[in-house]
A and B are shown apart, each in its own frame.
Chain A
Amino acid sequence: MIDTYRLRSPLAHLGLDARARAEADISGTGVIISERPQAGLINIRGDVSDARFVTAIEKSIKLSPPTVPNTVVGKPSTTRLMWLAPDEWMVITRPSGAERALKALQKNLKIADLHSSVTDTTEARTCIRVSGPRAREVISKGCSIDLHPSAFGPGQCAQTVVSRVGVMLAQTANSKTHQPTYELYPLRSFATYLWNWLEDASAEYGVKVE
């Protein structure tokens, strides 16, 4: 493990923690945004029709790779598996779970002895979470896919573009508010641009940092 003092998230320079403390009362706010860095992101490639591949993954993270395009399985509180392409998935773990999942996947897929790849991309992206009653409108300003609940609900994901930045986009349900929460995973170099755009796009609805 790297000493945590050495780790700096892509948006750390914006002082978001301090803002979150200052903007603690989020009632009546249209949009709430936050950075959720350091989720484990492990890219898997392989042939899902090969039972050995599926078994190795199940054995590693207790989830089977979804075959329905643009869907996510698993719970945000533990580990999720996101469909990216017919032969590509992303394992999303909590920050503390990345290393264990990576090792397990590497080990089990090696044992399975088949053509596959496991690549750690944890550091390549950060997660920006957008919630609040106007979250959908804000993202729709820069994203052309249909985010209406009937078309893009909890458990669905997409690789798309939000304001000129490629993202993996997932929706999770907020059990308290029943309003959608969107997770945007941009490559880390784009995170500042995307964050600034999101704040700008949210300004008219009232925006706070969580």
Chain B
Amino acid sequence: MKLALHYREIEGKSTGFWVLLGGLGLLIGLAMGSVLHMEHAGHHVTGMNNQIVWGLPHVFAIFLIVAASGALNVASIGTVFGKSLYKPLARLSGLLAIALLLGGLIVLVLDLGHPDRLIIAMTYYNFKSIFAWNIILYNGFLALTIVYIWFMMERKMNRYYRTAGFFAFIWRLVLTTGTGSIFGFLVARETYDAALLAPMFVIMSFSFGLAAFILVLMAAYNWTQRPLGDLILFRLKNLLGVFVASVLYFVVVYHLTNLYATEHHDVERFILLEGGIFTGLFWIVQIGLGSLLPLAMLYHPTIGKSRPAIATAAALVIIGGFAQLYVLLIGGQAYPLEMFPGYEVSSSFFDGVIGSYSPSIWEIALGVGGVAISLLIVIIAIRVLRFLPETLEDEVVDPHAAKAS
């Protein structure tokens, strides 16, 4: 007998559920307290300054925004590319995309010098600014994904969901291109000024988003004691391996092209050899722990089939992603602007000096709060609406493949 696919809300009555909710609420409370302090006292309480103008909140915000568009991939593979295996996951994929984006945007907005002027950001547009375009892209992404999920859930609208899914997919590609271009368009700074950053951000989103999706999926099914078959999980972890390798490829190409141009040798020496914390984060966390180790774990014939190992690999990809953005964002600003080639430069404004940055507790709390908001949205949504299939056993996901194996 063929098992039918049923979606059901999670029960959400256990102590663990309330502890989780309370814990996330506490983190969000701490974040809001930090924001009040930062906005009341001014940004002097943060580690950010006039040399490192974007700090840890931006690392968190950009990670979440990039991961958001990537989280939608699982749904896109099912809807746009017709892989029926992924279809049961589409609702959760859309939900996670929305949740991550909201978390990221909240962090981004609350770090502004004037978060109270959000209405200005929504009403005054400079259309030459990629940042202004991003505001439109984010809102459009939220709207499209909500419609997409609605069409999937509402039987009457079901026949239109493919169209909605197609547009959401195209939109997400444009969105991540836009996010990458925030840096790619900065001609002034040597580490950013590269068209390669746009496609690199797209592939980063594939990797970070899928890693986040795998973790949320495993946690949700494990904690609610719903069955999650190997078929779908192994498919996802293999795909994650492909994405991690692709990001690695882009990172290699990015640095090789920089190394080819003599004018970039100094900045490359800084990031790859002499940058202290940035060099350490790059080689140890981004490349070692965040790329090579998870790749080895995911494709190992025995370890690759262990669930704790898969979850660890996904977590490592996320940690590596944070390191990657930290090196790119903060490292890129720490390296001094090259204004007078061939000269040693000195001034009272730290010209020619490597910028120093150590994140304050307030920035850390704000960033972590953003992650907590994303997770809270997911938990509340799956508690009140039918996002999760009751079971993702192999027989439900793909009866033919399950029978064959």
Genuine A/B complex: no
